[in-house]
């Protein structure tokens, strides 16, 4: 079983739509959670950390559900520039490494 699983998509949405991605993780010892964004042929870049109480950054809202072992990313008022692949990442401190999901592709259309 993979450490982190994501729906690969693609999610095709019109501009202005609200879209949500989920990601599940298998190790209950996971302690840090992140969403990364990767543009085509570019390196992944940190979008936001995910905190236990949930957090918001502009149009982006991240949630963590430890009981069900999933994290989510909500994007409101989608922009064309939001088109990218979104990677879910979890970290277990003792292992000194991060586990990446394979990513969810988002296409925002005019």
Residues forming contacts to other proteins in the complex (CB under 8 A) are 31-32, 34, 36, 41-46, 49, 87, 89, 91, 93, 96-98, 100-103
Q: Which is nearer to other proteins, 4 or 108 (CB)?
A: 4
Q: How far is CA 6 from CA 3, 72, 89, 101, in A?
A: 10, 10, 10, 6
**Nearest-5° Cα angle at 72, 13 to 67:** 150
The Cα–Cα gap between 50 and 64 comes to 7
Q: Which is nearer to other proteins, 21 or 34 (CB)?
A: 34
Q: Which is nearer to other proteins, 8 or 16 (CB)?
A: 8
Minimum distance from CB of 5 to other proteins (Å)?
Answer: 10
Minimum distance from CB of 39 to other proteins (Å)?
Answer: 12
What is the number of residues in the chain? 110
């Amino acid at each position: 079983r993979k450490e982190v699983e994501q729906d690969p998509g693609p999610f095709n949405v019109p501009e202005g739509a609200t879209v949500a991605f989920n990601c599940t993780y298998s190790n209950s010892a996971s302690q840090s959670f992140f969403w990364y964004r990767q543009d085509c042929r570019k390196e992944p870049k940190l979008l936001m950390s995910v905190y236990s109480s949930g957090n918001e950054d502009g149009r982006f809202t991240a949630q963590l559900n430890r009981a069900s072992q999933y994290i989510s990313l909500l994007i409101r008022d989608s922009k064309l520039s939001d088109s990218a692949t979104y990677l879910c990442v979890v970290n277990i401190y003792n292992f000194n490494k991060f586990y990446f999901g394979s990513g969810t592709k988002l296409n925002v259309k005019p």
